[in-house]
């Protein structure tokens, strides 16, 4: 029977994979997926705590995160489409015009 | 509460107004709606605090900071009467998005529950990603929208992970309950509590652009349209600082010595690094970005020693900082009205010959930001420094050194304006724009009044 510690480790590992992906990958779409992975790791943690304490507030929070994540990805994809129109690429490493 | 509803309805009205061809009146409508919002706020504040199901708490604190952001937004909207020339077709959307950002900012300032903090930050951020990228054909604007989006979403992940760990330790999202559970939680699960606090602090440092989480900020400030930059540097920063301050005040029983050490190191690095890097900038907007990062460093100093004065000190600092920043950005918009990406120091060479009034006004704003004594920036800095003197003397010394460094780059623009020979002058004639001059005039008069009577703002 997995305890709360196991869930905590699992979601921490998922979160770290997401963070590593955002820091290492260069494709815009993959970056969005890695951010989703971070948010879903948090969702898992909320649900685990919610079940552990028999408290529904954590699960309600998960719905809020899902809604906001959907809105955020919609805007993020729109930004990527705008960039693709101007540069014909979704590689974020070509966006390096702004530096001193 | 009435203000929040009014702003939300105004946002929807602006979106529809943009569709049905009422673009001409929309900026005026926005000004009226914001003025009504401020008067509702004053009216509400007479009736004391209002608690909405323990989700939002409208009290003295929230009225103070909401008043600041609404007043500053009023000035930004006045600038936008002509300032949105790069994208006139979507004026209704832009004004609607500004209203939605304000709704998010009010949620962030008045939250009494972690759910509202998260929702407020997201309601504020998502329209802002769109505003930053609103200059669609401009690659700089595209790039800054992408960077801001990625960093914002990344920081949201950290914030949520922190909230989840705090929830695991205290079983609650309610700030009052978390505060009352803090003793038990620290004894039972110290790792969860401390990791949670660390993650939330990192998320706020991202949002406020404190060193070492600042690297997105100069790029975004430089690339986005000047009007949006002015909005981000004042309103968004005020909302972020107010939310962080509330978090620190409520959860102060949880925050141990190690947290204080981390925040003081962040504050020290922010001040020193931002001021030193700002010396080398060749783009004026980028320099202002580093300047605003360094001001966040000064404000974070006040978070270390909480007492009865802290809220009013931070509020005073934010008012002075916002007035000077708005003045400079409005002047920049007059000098470069087409939102060209090139905002080099050439814009200021010999400005005193072209427009002595504008040169004087920019100088007053820059001197106030630098904290030179007769101007109110000095009083604001003095009040923050006074908070720190007892416990963190080393931080105070670093702050004084870094504000001495900052004088160099603020004076660089002033020297270029006044001491450039006529034949070398490259400054353009400023745009004739009554609304822009009104904004600048208001902020400078407010700065001068505050420098004569600094005690006038007494909350």
B86 contacts B337 by C-beta, under 8 angstroms: no
Q: Which of A61-70, B355-364, B373-382 has the highest mean pLDDT?
A: A61-70
- Contact state of B153 with A45 under an 8 Å Cβ cutoff: no
Mean pLDDT for the stretch of residues B203-208: 94
Please state, in angstroms and as integers, the Cα–Cα distance from residue A56 to each residue in B54, B169, B181, B240, B421, following that order.
16, 15, 18, 29, 71
Bridge partners (DSSP) of residue B161 are none
Q: Is it the case that residue B295 has pLDDT exceeding 80?
A: yes
Identity of the residue in B140, B163, B277 whose CB atom sits nearest the CB atom of A98: B140
- Contact state of B122 with A92 under an 8 Å Cβ cutoff: no
Banded model confidence at residue B82, pLDDT cuts 50, 70, 90: low
Looking at the complex, does the CB of residue A80 fall below 8 Å from at least one CB of chain B? yes
Closest CA to B289 of B209, B344, B371, B398: B209
Mean pLDDT for the stretch of residues B421-441: 80
Banded model confidence at residue B455, pLDDT cuts 50, 70, 90: low
Residue B160 is predicted with a pLDDT of 96
B163 contacts B114 by C-beta, under 8 angstroms: yes
Banded model confidence at residue B390, pLDDT cuts 50, 70, 90: confident
Going by C-beta distance under 8 Å and a sequence separation of 6 or more, which residues neighbour residue B425? B349, B350, B351, B353, B354
Q: Is residue A65 part of a domain?
A: yes
Mean pLDDT for the stretch of residues B279-283: 88
- Contact state of A79 with B149 under an 8 Å Cβ cutoff: yes
Residue B356 is predicted with a pLDDT of 87
Q: Chain B: residue nearest A90 by CA? A: B146
Domain, as residue range, for A34: 27-90
| B337 against A79, higher pLDDT | A79
Contacts of B161 in chain A (CB under 8 A): 15, 38, 41-42, 45
> How far is A92 from A90, CA to CA, in rounded Å?
6
Q: What is the CATH number of the domain that holds A80?
A: 1.10.287.3510
Provide the b/e sequence for B393-417 (b: ≥16 CB within 10 Å).
eebbebbeebbebbeebbebbbebb
Contacts of A72 in chain B (CB under 8 A): 122, 126, 153, 156
Q: What percent of chain A has pLDDT over 90?
A: 76
Residue A74 is predicted with a pLDDT of 94
Q: Is it the case that residue A100 has pLDDT exceeding 60?
A: no
Measured between CA atoms, how close is B153 to chain A, in angstroms?
7
Respond yes or no on whether the N-terminal peptide bond of residue B212 is cis (omega within 30° of 0). yes
Q: Is it the case that residue B296 has pLDDT exceeding 90?
A: yes
Number of other CB atoms surrounding residue B16 within 10 Å: 11
Bridge partners (DSSP) of residue B166 are none
B302 contacts B260 by C-beta, under 8 angstroms: no
Residue B305 is predicted with a pLDDT of 87
Of the candidate ranges A87-96, B63-72, B149-158, the one whose mean pLDDT is the lowest: A87-96
The tally of domains found in chain A comes to 1
Contacts of A8 in chain B (CB under 8 A): 168
Q: Where are the alpha helices (DSSP H) in B133-215?
A: 139-170, 175-188, 190-208
Q: What percent of chain B has pLDDT over 90?
A: 54
Residue A94 is predicted with a pLDDT of 78
Q: Is residue A46 part of a domain?
A: yes
Mean pLDDT for the stretch of residues B175-183: 91
Residue B53 is predicted with a pLDDT of 86
Q: Is it the case that residue B51 has pLDDT exceeding 80?
A: yes
Identity of the residue in A22, A42, A53 whose CB atom sits nearest the CB atom of B164: A42
Describe the crossing of helices B434-452 and B376-388 by its angle, rounded to 10 degrees.
50
Q: Is it the case that residue B183 has pLDDT exceeding 80?
A: yes
Q: Is it the case that residue B311 has pLDDT exceeding 60?
A: yes
Residue B125 is predicted with a pLDDT of 95
| B261 against B459, higher pLDDT | B261
- Contact state of A38 with B157 under an 8 Å Cβ cutoff: yes
Banded model confidence at residue A12, pLDDT cuts 50, 70, 90: very high
Closest CA to B375 of B360, B384, B385, B365: B365
Contacts of A41 in chain B (CB under 8 A): 161
Closest CA to B269 of B198, B212, B218, B199: B212
Residue B21 is predicted with a pLDDT of 79
Going by C-beta distance under 8 Å and a sequence separation of 6 or more, which residues neighbour residue B20? none
Q: Is residue A31 part of a domain?
A: yes
Mean pLDDT for the stretch of residues B70-96: 81
pLDDT tens across B319-373, in order?
A: 999 999 999 999 888 888 776 667 788 888 888 888 888 899 999 999 999 988 8
> How far is B446 from B345, CA to CA, in rounded Å?
26
| Gyration radius (Cα) of chain B, Å | 21
- Contact state of B281 with A86 under an 8 Å Cβ cutoff: no
Contacts of B115 in chain A (CB under 8 A): 60-61, 64
Banded model confidence at residue B84, pLDDT cuts 50, 70, 90: low
Q: Is residue A72 part of a domain?
A: yes
ipTM of model: 0.96
- Considering the entire predicted model, what is its pTM? 0.95
Residue B93 is predicted with a pLDDT of 87
Residue that the structure tokens 């685990």 belong to: A48
- Taking one residue from A and the other from B, the number of pairs with CB-CB distance under 8 angstroms is 121
């Amino acid at each position: 029977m997995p305890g709360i510690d196991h869930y905590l480790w699992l979601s921490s590992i998922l979160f770290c994979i997401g963070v590593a992906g955002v820091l290492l990958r260069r494709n815009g779409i993959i970056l969005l997926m890695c951010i989703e992975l971070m948010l879903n790791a948090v969702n898992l943690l909320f649900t685990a705590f919610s079940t552990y304490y028999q408290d529904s507030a954590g699960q309600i929070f998960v719905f809020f995160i899902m809604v906001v994540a959907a809105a955020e990805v919609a805007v993020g994809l729109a930004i990527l489409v705008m960039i693709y129109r101007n540069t014909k690429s979704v590689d974020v490493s070509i966006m390096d015009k702004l530096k001193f | 509460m009435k203000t929040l509803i009014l702003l939300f309805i105004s946002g929807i009205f602006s979106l529809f107004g943009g569709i049905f061809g009422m673009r001409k009146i929309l900026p005026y409508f926005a000004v009226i709606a914001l003025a009504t919002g401020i008067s509702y706020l004053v009216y509400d504040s007479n009736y004391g605090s209002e608690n909405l199901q323990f989700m939002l708490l409208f009290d003295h604190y929230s009225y103070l900071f909401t008043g600041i952001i609404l007043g500053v937004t009023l000035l930004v909207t006045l600038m936008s009467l002509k300032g949105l020339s790069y994208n006139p077709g979507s004026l209704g959307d832009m004004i609607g998005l500004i209203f939605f950002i304000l709704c998010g900012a009010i949620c962030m300032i008045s939250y009494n529950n972690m759910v509202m903090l998260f929702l407020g930050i997201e309601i504020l951020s998502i329209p802002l990603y769109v505003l930053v990228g609103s200059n669609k054909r401009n690659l700089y604007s595209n790039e800054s929208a992408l960077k801001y989006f990625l960093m914002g979403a990344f920081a949201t992940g950290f914030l949520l992970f922190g909230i989840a760990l705090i929830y695991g330790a205290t079983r609650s999202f309610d700030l009052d309950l978390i505060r009352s559970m803090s003793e038990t939680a620290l004894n039972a699960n110290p790792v969860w509590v401390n990791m949670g606090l660390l993650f939330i602090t990192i998320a706020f440092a991202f949002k406020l652009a404190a060193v070492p989480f600042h690297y997105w900020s100069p790029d975004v400030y430089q690339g986005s349209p000047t009007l949006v930059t002015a909005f981000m540097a004042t309103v968004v920063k005020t909302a972020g600082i107010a939310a962080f301050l509330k978090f620190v005040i409520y959860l102060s029983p949880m925050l141990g010595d190690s947290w204080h050490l981390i925040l003081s190191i962040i504050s020290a690095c922010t001040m020193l690094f931002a001021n030193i890097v700002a010396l080398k900038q060749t783009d004026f907007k980028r320099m202002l970005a580093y300047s605003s990062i360094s001001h966040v460093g000064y404000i974070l100093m006040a978070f270390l020693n909480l007492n009865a004065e802290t809220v009013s000190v931070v509020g005073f600092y934010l008012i002075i900082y916002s007035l000077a920043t708005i003045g400079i950005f409005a002047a920049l918009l007059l000098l470069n009205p087409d939102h060209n990406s090139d905002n080099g120091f050439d814009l200021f060479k010999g400005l005193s010959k072209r427009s002595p009034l504008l040169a004087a006004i920019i100088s007053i704003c820059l001197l106030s930001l630098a904290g030179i004594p007769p101007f109110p920036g000095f009083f604001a800095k003095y009040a923050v420094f006074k908070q720190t003197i007892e416990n963190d003397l080393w931080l105070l010394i670093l702050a004084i050194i870094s504000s001495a460094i900052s004088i160099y780059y603020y004076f660089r623009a002033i020297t270029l304006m006044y001491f450039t020979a006529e034949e070398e002058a490259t400054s353009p004639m400023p745009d004739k724009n009554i609304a822009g001059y009104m904004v600048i005039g208001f902020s400078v008069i407010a700065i001068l009044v505050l420098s004569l009577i600094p005690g006038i703002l007494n909350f």
